Chains A and B, each alone.
Chain A
Amino acid sequence: QVQLVQSGAEVKRPGASVKVSCKVSGYTLSQLSMNWVRQAPGKGLEWMGRSDPEEGEASHAQNFQGRVTMTEDTSTDTAYMELGSLTSEDTAVYYCAIMNVYNSNFPDWGPGTLVTVSS
């Protein structure tokens, strides 16, 4: 059974960057397809992208191109999502989620990290 533990809540100024971590236990991170999904307050789910170092490529939703970096530290089984040039519209709960690569669903989710962007 895979477990995901995310870093704590963050408060950032507009224009800053935030880096959220997601530590995997129960499996080796390199065996998994780690994705990131966010949810603004009172809004729906928005897929941000995934990192897949084993295949040598990452895939990001167009809304985040050039602004998001997704990395993995296989020595600690920890995935990271860094989002830059923050605006108030980036205030959201950020989830890491494991994708089932056979049918592209998400059976396992982290608890979420609240990122608040405020001046």
Chain B
Amino acid sequence: QSVLTQPPAVSGAPGQRVTISCTGNRSNIGAGYDVHWYQQLPGTAPKLLIYGNSLRPSGVPDRFSGSKSGTSASLAITGLQDEDEAEYYCQSYDISLSAHVVFGGGTKLTVL
């Protein structure tokens, strides 16, 4: 079971808006650590999509946005496109035990 909780799956039609939640606790997101998001296409390595809660690396479309509040964070995708169908992971830092870096369990986005 992952330290950060994500819904297993979300879906949306092309052009729609979807959100993916990432819920942590007071030892990770709630402790003030940044949340980062990754997109993983089948058979490929994860790609950094959002860092520092809401910042986009160069080349990431502004259709992708991130936010954080309290012990949770969210990834929003607007104007959904077929190529957005992928697995999405959140990641943060945790001060408990030795699991310094923690990932969410992943969310499969299906474009209908």
Chain A interface residues toward B at CB < 8 A: 35, 37, 44-47, 59-62, 65, 95, 99-100, 103-107, 109-112
Contacts and interface: CB of A to CB of B under 8 A. Distances in A.
A105 B89 CA distance: 12
Given A47-B103, A61-B99, A110 B57 contact: no
Nearest to A45: B103
Interface residues of B, number: 27
Interface of A is mostly: strand
A47 B99 contact: yes
A35 B98 CA distance: 14
Interface in B93-112: 93, 97-106
Nearest to A59: B100
B34 interface: yes
Contacts of B102: 47
5 contacts: A47-B103, A59-B100, A95-B46, A105-B36, A109-B46
Contacts of B47: 109
Given A44-B103, A61-B101, 13 more contacts: A45-B38, A45-B89, A45-B91, A47-B102, A61-B100, A62-B98, A103-B34, A104-B36, A105-B36, A106-B46, A109-B46, A109-B47, A110-B45
